[in-house]
């Protein structure tokens, strides 16, 4: 795929996570990250979702009851659908210290995109905090071996070629 001109997008505003217990998960994200509880969603009978925010950093984490998702129950245990970036390694360590005080274990590591600390939420979904990003600006493929070892490749295996969008071509981009 060829690079696209700057999109004008600032970043991702919200990540939505399917959870089994809204209150327990909301407490986890509030306690660990200091997010404010700012939204609730429901069907008129029960609360089926909520959101927490850091308005200064301009992002929301929304939580949805897994048993109420339109496509059926989603299970992201063992995945890390949310990766946030700490301003500094020290800021990431403050989150780890808060987690330790709350009895939340963490793991950490380094990979091609940076150094991270990871915490499992009450549903076993990983929240990753990157604190020294080293993003690879070219394509990077990663193969995970059976013992977690990583191998890299530099040519895509998935065909994602697209036809040009007529509106983009007409606009000269």
User: Please, what are the domains in the chain?
Assistant: 14-170 (3.10.180.10)
Q: Are 52 and 27 in contact (CB under 8 A)?
A: no
User: In which residue are the tokens 């493929």 written?
Assistant: 141
Q: What does the alpha-carbon distance between residue 109 and residue 107 come to, in Å, rounded to a whole number?
A: 7
Handedness of CA 28, 57, 15, 45 (dihedral sign): positive
pLDDT digits 0-9 by tens, 12-61: 778 899 999 999 999 999 999 999 999 999 888 889 999 999 999 888 89
pLDDT score of 104 more than 90: yes
Given this model, what pLDDT does residue 146 score?
A: 83
For residues 103 and 71, the model is more confident at 103
Given this model, what pLDDT does residue 7 score?
A: 62
- Angle subtended at Cα 133 by Cα 127 and Cα 136, rounded to the nearest 5 degrees: 115
pLDDT score of 123 more than 60: yes
Calculate what percentage of the chain has a pLDDT beyond 70.
86
Q: Does the predicted model carry a pTM greater than 0.85? A: no
Given this model, what pLDDT does residue 139 score?
A: 79
């Amino acid at each position: 795929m060829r690079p696209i001109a700057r999109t004008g997008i600032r970043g991702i505003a919200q990540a939505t996570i399917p959870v089994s217990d809204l209150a327990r998960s909301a407490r986890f994200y509030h306690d660990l990250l200091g997010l404010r509880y700012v939204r609730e969603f429901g069907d008129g009978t029960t609360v089926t979702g909520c959101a927490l925010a850091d308005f200064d950093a301009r992002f929301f984490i929304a939580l949805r009851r897994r048993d109420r998702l339109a496509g059926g129950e989603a299970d992201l245990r063992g995945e890390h659908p949310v990766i946030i970036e700490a301003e500094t390694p020290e800021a990431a360590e403050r989150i780890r210290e808060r987690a330790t005080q709350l009895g939340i274990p963490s793991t950490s590591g380094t990979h091609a995109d940076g150094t991270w600390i990871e915490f499992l939420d009450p549903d076993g979904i990983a929240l990753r905090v990157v604190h020294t990003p080293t993003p690879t600006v070219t394509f990077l493929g990663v193969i995970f071996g059976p013992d977690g070892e990583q191998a890299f490749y530099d040519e895509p295996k998935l065909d994602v070629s697209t036809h040009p969008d007529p509106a983009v071509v007409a606009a000269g981009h």
